Amino acid sequence: MSPDSPPAAVPAPDLSISTPKPPTLIALFAAFAKMSLAGFGGVLVWARRGIVDQHRWMTADEFNETFALCHFLPGPNVVNLTFVFGSRFRGLAGAIAAFSGLVGPPVVIVTILAALYQRYGEIEALRRILAGVACAAIGLMLSAVFRMMTPLFKRRDVVGLVVMTAVFVAIGVLRLPLPSVLLVAIPVSIAISFAMQRSAT
């Protein structure tokens, strides 16, 4: 190549790899239906795995922030998450698609199981099986909690970890009323976030 020849054009980066396309309505329904069918003991574990790890529709921080918002809204947390997540990408239709996928299949299955339990619920072996399922559900919930804490550890967010620990101690150990703890924790968390943002700028 001669010195006067123009430099070769550098190909543009493929943004589709790092930024996946927004899910379609069918994809939303199918994804949340899969989460609900796999969500023994709670859908939160599978929702985070599907949204963050598998489909990469959200980052870990975005999922934590969205779930935190849904946690402070009235109603079941995961149901709130489906509406917020679906509407974020496809508006009201996306919220309905995600909600239908979340509750549709389990409603059918639970209706069938309720009829079977009414007939065979007194069997001792079945009770032991349900006790084992309850233990597995607790383990799944703890794994989800630790995975949601990962971004805080990676950023070394000491303040966030301290607030989280204080809320856990207040509710889980001291047995203080949840509304009273939230009325204190939410304003304190917001004030700390604003103070840290101002100090950073």
pLDDT value of residue 161: 80
The predicted structure's pLDDT at residue 131: 74
C-alpha span between 21 and 74 (Å, rounded): 30
- Residue 152, pLDDT score: 72
Residue 41 contacts residue 133 (beta carbons within 8 Å): yes
**Within a 10 A sphere around the Cβ of 61, how many other Cβ atoms?**
13
Residue 162 and residue 37: Cα distance in Å, rounded? 35
In DSSP notation, 71-117 reads HTSSS-HHHHHHHHHHHHHHHHHHHHHHHHHHHHHHHHHHHHHHHHH
Can you tell me the distance from the alpha carbon of 176 to that of 110, in angstroms, rounded to the nearest whole number?
A: 34
- How many angstroms separate the first and last alpha carbons of the chain? 48
Helix, strand, coil content of the chain in percent (nearest 5): 75, 0, 25
Output the pLDDT for position 164. 82
Q: Which two tokens stand for residue 190?
A: 């917001």
- From first to last of its 201 residues, the chain has per-residue pLDDT tens of 555 555 555 454 444 444 567 889 999 999 999 988 887 656 877 888 889 988 889 988 888 888 888 877 777 888 899 999 999 989 999 999 999 999 998 888 888 878 877 777 667 776 777 777 777 777 777 777 777 777 777 777 777 788 888 888 998 889 898 888 888 888 888 888 788 777 777
User: Taking each helix axis from N to C terminus, what angle separates 178-200 and 158-168, rounded to the nearest 10 degrees?
Assistant: 170
pLDDT at 7: 52
Best CA proximity match to 48, nearest among 37, 58, 33, 38: 58
Q: What is the distance between the alpha carbons of residues 71 and 52, in angstroms, rounded to a whole number?
A: 18
Q: Rounded distance, CA 148 to CA 42, Å?
A: 15
